[in-house]
Homo-oligomer: A and B are copies of this chain.
């Protein structure tokens, strides 16, 4: 299959690599050209000079960039993906964006006969490298089905949630669940440490019961030790939470703890922790 991959960053680099590894004909584009060149050198792939050129003749075109404005530019810009794609192609967006832009792009692209699938991922850099991402999709069943051979290259779990925008909204549910959960775990660990408990023993005891979570299993040890130089950055979490809180406002849902945790993450940014993993939330609670 001829595939265009736009955005060869922390996630896109290994994802596009998996596609090349199973024999797809992959053309990549990246704003910083050096990364695209180093990807192409590793994977015997092709680098294009614009998203438009990468997309010409592609069956499926994928983007995985930063934020709504990046997606807008890379898709709709003068040398953007839309300009290169032909009727019958599919455009997959792995960026975490607002549902608004997903629905808007879907509408515009459908006028060109192009199917759009909003397909934000979770699982982070390690999930991308290991081909174990989760993908939450919004779009038509037929477009989703045609993406199967692509998604299976780097995801262990990909699901069609509903119509256009549903993938993004599902990703927001994911981030909302994580935000309050990480704060709860932070409060539990900070409380236990302040009271002199052997927290390794406590986590060993409670991690098989009703307090168990992926975050507890994968982050408690490093939170206890105060290590955050890995994982999903606070800066990115704040971007995602802003999208969640905007959509909550539009849909009249009250998210009191998510709002509060967003502000707590602002505190972490103010302590120069913007690049730290989201589990750094506990640092606010440490006794001085």
Contacts and interface: CB of A to CB of B under 8 A. Distances in A.
Contact of A285 (B135, B215, B253): B253
Interface in A161-198: 161-162, 166, 169-170, 172-181, 183-185, 187-192, 194-198
A41 interface: no
Interface string A187-227: 11111101111110110111011111111101000000000
Interface in A19-58: none
Interface stretch (A10-18, A62-70, A244-252): A244-252
B177 A188 contact: yes
A213 B258 contact: no
A195 to B, nearest CB: 5
A198 B248 CA distance: 17
Contacts of A169: 192, 195, 197
A263 to B, nearest CB: 10
B251 A195 contact: yes
B205 A157 contact: yes
Tell me the number of copies of this protein.
2
Contacts of A99: 195
B176 A191 contact: yes
A125 to B, nearest CB: 12
A168 to B, nearest CB: 10
B213 A122 contact: no
A170 B202 contact: yes
Contacts of A184: 176-181, 183-184, 257-258
B173 A191 contact: yes
A146 interface: no
Given A183-B180, A189-B173, A197-B173, A134 B208 contact: yes
A59 B58 CA distance: 77
Interface of A: 99, 122-124, 127, 134-136, 156-157, 159-162, 166, 169-170, 172-181, 183-185, 187-192, 194-199, 201-202, 204-206, 208-216, 218, 232, 244, 247-248, 251-258, 260-261, 285, 287
Given A136-B205, A176-B184, 4 more contacts: A159-B204, A170-B197, A180-B181, A257-B257
